[in-house]
Amino acid sequence: MLHPSPQVAQALAQGRPVVALESTVITHGLPYPQNVETALAMEAAVREGGAEPATVAVLGGRLIVGLSLDEIEYLGQQAGAATVRKCSRRDLPIAVACGEDGATTVAGTMVVAHLAGIELFATGGIGGVHRGHPFDVSADLRELGQTPVTVVSSGAKSILDLPATREVLETEGVAVIGYGADELPAFFARSCGLPVDVRLDTPDQVAKLIAARRRLGLSSGTLVTVPAPEEACMDPEEAEAAAAQAAREADEQGIHGPASTPWLLRRVVELTDGRSMVANTALLTNNGRVAGQIAVALVALRQDV
């Protein structure tokens, strides 16, 4: 069922640190060629952190764990194409059974990472509760509540209803960690004023928390939130104004469901004259590096036990 790359298979067999990466950022998040450049930059950042990157996708019905350069390029050129299914938990068996190409969301990547035995997963921002649509809740939140994978992100995407998203995470029993931060990051901005459950400042501290969750036998995941780099982040008021305007326009145009997040992100890029894309790419690579460092610390912790 799973098709790990030779590099990922070897790293897992040898007990070396591995970090999973999603693929919707390639097909549904950024335009070509920035999508390919960002995907490769994330992989490089994971390696800088000391771990092996494993970008996840479905190609021809095969669950690939660790895309090759050619496969990343192929997906990059399909950006926006209706032929690539956006795969959450619900969609994975459909894509596999029908022999389709699919890009994995946060939830979809968590499922595959867990099947492959990968603990750490780095992304930009998780999904959440959509503004003005409290029943439109991303499957990412439920996945975090039921799949024991640690997700390193810059919080939830700022186009979402962040207070409602924070409440759902609490309901799902997900520990929200502020990595060097006392407040929840707001994706493009470093803070949104909402509290985290605990602040941890080092990879070793996060690794110990992950190990404690494992010893307790909890099936929930852990969310490690990392503020965007200071030099690339946006002013919180500017980020909020752009997100609110984009949400209003989406409602006016009747854009809802799976199509809404890619549309909203593209609109925010336009409203901020590209500043949100600069912040997005910076936080993606930073999160990949941090996830790599945590994966290294987790492997070291296992060896010390």
Which residues, other chains included, contact 1 with Cβ-Cβ below 8 Å and sequence gap of 6+?
A: 63, 96, 115
Q: What is the pLDDT of residue 166?
A: 96
Residue at 236: amino acid letter? P
Percent of the chain residues past pLDDT 70, beyond the cut:
98
Q: 48, 73, 157, 240: which is the annotated catalytic residue?
A: 157
Q: What is the pLDDT of residue 201?
A: 98
Q: What is the pLDDT of residue 305?
A: 54
- Contact predicate 283/224, CB 8 Å: no
Tokens of 88: 């959450």
pLDDT in tens, 255-299: 776 667 777 777 877 877 777 777 788 899 999 999 999 999 999
- Contact predicate 121/56, CB 8 Å: no
* Banded pLDDT at 139 (limits 50, 70, 90): very high
Active site residue 86: no
Q: 22, 52, 119, 143: which is the annotated catalytic residue?
A: 22
C-alpha torsion angle, residues 22, 28, 33, 36 (rounded to 10): 10
pLDDT in tens, 201-254: 999 999 999 999 999 999 999 999 999 888 777 777 777 787 788 888 888 888
The pTM (predicted TM-score) of the whole model is 0.91
* Banded pLDDT at 136 (limits 50, 70, 90): confident
